[in-house]
Amino acid sequence: MLDGKRIGFLGGGNMAEALLRGLAKNCGSVQLGVSDPRKDRVSELATQYGAKTESDNRALVDWADVVVLAVKPQIAAEVLAEVSDCDSSPLLVSVAAGLTTGFLENALGGAAHVVRAMPNTPALVGAGATAICSGTHASDSDMETARLLFDAVGITEVVKESQMNAVTGLSGSGPAYVFLVLDALSDAGVKMGLPRATALRLAAQTMLGSAKLLMETNGHPGALKDMVTSPGGTTIAGVHALEAGGLRTTLINAVEAAAHRAEELGNRE
């Protein structure tokens, strides 16, 4: 469904580049375009991903079938005001954190087709987790287009907009939690006598491999944990220490706190 579509990026920063890379690699027939105030940046993206460059945001919007809003949330209103009276009205897919579909629709004049997305940083290496939700006027076909766009850099889940703060608390902020855990595991390896680099590689591959095992077998994490805990063995001793330290409660608290913070920030809109 992305075949032959013209996908234009307003803003050519990190998230835009992740998507450009994924689309160039996995969706050969799409046409890519980008506009950004930094001319050197635009030429770099053009060379690297075969993207057409546009001199200004309005020209990009008039060219595109799908526009990805990939600027910082603080300047989104200004950029949308600039393009709100363009001749064409392509589907707008926003990755701007915290901006609601209502805000985006209002900024574009009401009847715009809008999809809101919350990707995460592993999209930069093609392993992102993105949640998308529909604006009032977006069709099923618009949602499918957005889903395919984010599938190019990982996996995509469709949620209700009321669930977006939970997504922010879980997968949006999640990479930071995982990096804390990896740093701690690496410290633990060092404490028990391993060289730092060895400890970090073993910890990271254990995290990656366990997630892969879960996803590829469609397994339950509890059942997969049971597979490595033999009676009276080493792993159950480690699991006991984690439970005594309140690992599960701490992680639940972290997601809850981040989701509440996302809600607070959203209420300031």
Interface ranges with ligand NAP (CB under 6 A): 10-16, 35-38, 41, 57, 70-73, 75, 79, 95-97, 119-121
| Cα 139 from Cα 119, distance rounded (Å) | 21
CB of 97 to ligand NAP, least distance (A): 3
CB of 7 to ligand NAP, least distance (A): 15
Decide: 104 and 112 in contact? Cβ < 8 Å.
yes
Please identify, using beta-carbon distances, which residue of 128 and 189 lies nearer to ligand NAP. Answer: 128
Please identify, using beta-carbon distances, which residue of 187 and 263 lies nearer to ligand NAP. Answer: 263
Terminal Cα-to-Cα distance of the chain (whole angstroms):
34
CB of 147 to ligand NAP, least distance (A): 17
The closest residue (CB) to ligand NAP is 13
CB of 30 to ligand NAP, least distance (A): 19
- Residue carrying structure tokens 């901006």: 99
Decide: 118 and 258 in contact? Cβ < 8 Å.
no
Please identify, using beta-carbon distances, which residue of 96 and 199 lies nearer to ligand NAP. Answer: 96
CB of 36 to ligand NAP, least distance (A): 5
| Cα 217 from Cα 212, distance rounded (Å) | 8
| Cα 123 from Cα 121, distance rounded (Å) | 5
- Residue carrying structure tokens 């922010």: 168
Decide: 104 and 116 in contact? Cβ < 8 Å.
yes
| Cα 224 from Cα 82, distance rounded (Å) | 52
Please identify, using beta-carbon distances, which residue of 21 and 189 lies nearer to ligand NAP. Answer: 21
Please identify, using beta-carbon distances, which residue of 30 and 60 lies nearer to ligand NAP. Answer: 60
CB burial of residue 197 (10 Å; 0-12, 13-18, 19+): exposed
